[in-house]
């Protein structure tokens, strides 16, 4: 599939109001922090505005026009998420605050069955959101958290994975694309090996849902977690997707309105899926706006989005590697939307602040991956992360800003 041509990207950028603004006075904004959150097209902003202006009401409760409209739009959003990700049943789509809450839900509900001696397998490159929840449930149950090491290129060590996978491995929880390194992991093959071992699998799709066509029916994982705000949707909404059979076997996570069937002072019974896991008033407006984001990216086409991101990020990696003083953190065979690097003799925090003065927004720090930083031998890194509205000219702006930073620090 062909990437978008420069003229097409220019037209797409007109859909994103924030990409038209200037920062630090007269600097055109170059936004290269999409792994943290993507920008939002006008149609998403308008969808959220429309909900609060025209149909604001609680869902599943009222018997009036606004409540019926809001409920219909909210449930349509659920169906749209299911269809977009290739889920077989919308009842298996649980709306959450995002990937972090989704993983916590699985750890705290599914994880109650873990026992002393059981093992939870993650990797060294995981985001803290896919480490800490497993540590918490392991402390409660006596299970052990183990991690797949990395190769020198920043990829998962698959030989070590096969060695670590054993009858005691009850959960394999992996990121599909590293938020720090940009590495695309071979999760389909790893899922197949884990399932053959009798291991339950969760995939962190925070970075993959925005960039790759996802078909959960083909992928084969038990749980998939993602966030709307990284795929041109609003913040504060995401989803956990699983089979209804698996979710029905789990206890609820939070108690309150909506998630119940019958309540007495002595005991309660639970609502049918998906409401069993959606206690209280949900994030209605943002779910509806997420549906608008999905409509938008489906209109563009996920295959073309993937091709466009691949083209621009691979170009960026190649050009950064040729830049004096720049060292890439990883050289994966397949890269997602991010490329991270160090600039010799300059702390990443200083680099980010200096390039920001040129209007270029990148990330600096441990990017919620402190075990990975320990593995790399650095406390922090710089990360430029791309989406389909970014251009090679913006990489040129980044390189120019890096040269200015080197001159300021006297390392030119």
Residues marked active site are found at: 368
Give the contacts of 376 (CB within 8 A, at least 6 positions apart). Answer: 329
The CA-to-CA distance between both ends of the chain, in Å, stands at 40
Q: Please tell me whether residue 294 adopts helix, strand or coil conformation.
A: helix
The closest alpha carbon to 46, from 13, 4, 17, 86, belongs to 17
Q: Which residues of 40-65 are buried (b: 16+ CB within 10 A; e: fewer)?
A: bbeebbebbebbeeebebbbbeeeee
Backbone angles phi, psi at 301, to 5 degrees: 100, 120
Contact in structure between 95 and 274 (CB atoms under 8 Å): yes
CB atoms within 10 A of CB 89: 16
Kind and range of the H or E element at 107?
helix 99-109
Q: Between the CA atoms of 332, 337, 339 and 340, what dihedral angle is there, to the nearest 10 degrees?
A: -110
- DSSP summary character for residue 272: P
Give CA–CA dist 23/29, Å, rounded: 6
Tokens of 32: 């290269």
Give CA–CA dist 102/132, Å, rounded: 13
Give CA–CA dist 163/135, Å, rounded: 21
């Amino acid at each position: 599939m062909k990437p978008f041509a420069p003229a097409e990207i220019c037209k797409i950028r007109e859909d994103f109001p924030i990409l038209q603004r200037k920062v630090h006075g007269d600097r055109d904004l170059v936004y290269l922090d999409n792994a943290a959150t993507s920008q939002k097209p006008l149609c998403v902003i308008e969808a959220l505005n429309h909900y609060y202006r025209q149909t604001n009401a609680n869902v599943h409760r009222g018997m009036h026009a606004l409540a019926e409209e809001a409920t219909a739009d909210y449930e349509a959003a659920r169906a749209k998420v299911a269809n977009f990700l290739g889920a077989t049943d919308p009842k298996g789509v649980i709306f959450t605050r995002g990937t972090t809450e989704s993983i916590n839900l699985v750890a705290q509900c599914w994880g109650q069955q873990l026992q002393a001696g059981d093992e939870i397998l993650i990797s060294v490159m995981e985001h803290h959101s896919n480490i800490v929840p497993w540590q918490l449930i392991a402390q409660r149950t006596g299970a052990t958290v183990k991690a797949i090491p990395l190769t020198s290129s920043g990829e998962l060590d698959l030989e070590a994975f096969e060695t670590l996978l054993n009858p005691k491995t009850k959960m394999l929880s992996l990121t599909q694309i590293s938020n720090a390194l940009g590495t695309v992991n071979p999760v389909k093959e790893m899922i197949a090996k884990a399932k053959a071992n009798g291991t339950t699998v969760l995939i962190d799709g925070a970075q993959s849902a925005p960039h790759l066509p996802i078909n959960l029916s083909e992928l084969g994982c038990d749980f998939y977690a993602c966030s709307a705000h990284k795929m041109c949707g609003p913040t504060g909404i995401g989803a956990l997707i699983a089979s209804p059979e698996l979710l029905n076997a789990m206890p609820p996570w939070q108690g309150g309105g909506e998630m119940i069937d019958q309540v007495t002072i002595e005991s309660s019974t639970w609502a049918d899926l998906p409401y069993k896991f959606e206690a209280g008033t949900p994030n209605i407006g943002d779910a509806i706006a997420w549906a608008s984001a999905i409509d938008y990216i489906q209109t563009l086409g996920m295959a073309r989005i993937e091709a466009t991101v691949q083209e621009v990020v691979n170009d960026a990696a190649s050009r950064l590697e040729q830049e004096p003083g720049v060292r890439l953190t990883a050289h994966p065979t397949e890269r997602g939307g991010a490329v991270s690097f160090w600039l010799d003799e300059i702390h990443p925090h200083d680099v980010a602040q200096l390039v920001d003065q040129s209007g270029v927004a990148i990330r600096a720090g441990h990017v919620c991956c402190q075990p990975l930083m320990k593995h790399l031998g650095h406390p922090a890194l710089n990360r430029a992360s791309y989406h389909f509205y970014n251009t090679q000219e913006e990489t040129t702006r980044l390189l120019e800003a890096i040269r200015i930073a080197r001159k300021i620090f006297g390392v030119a």
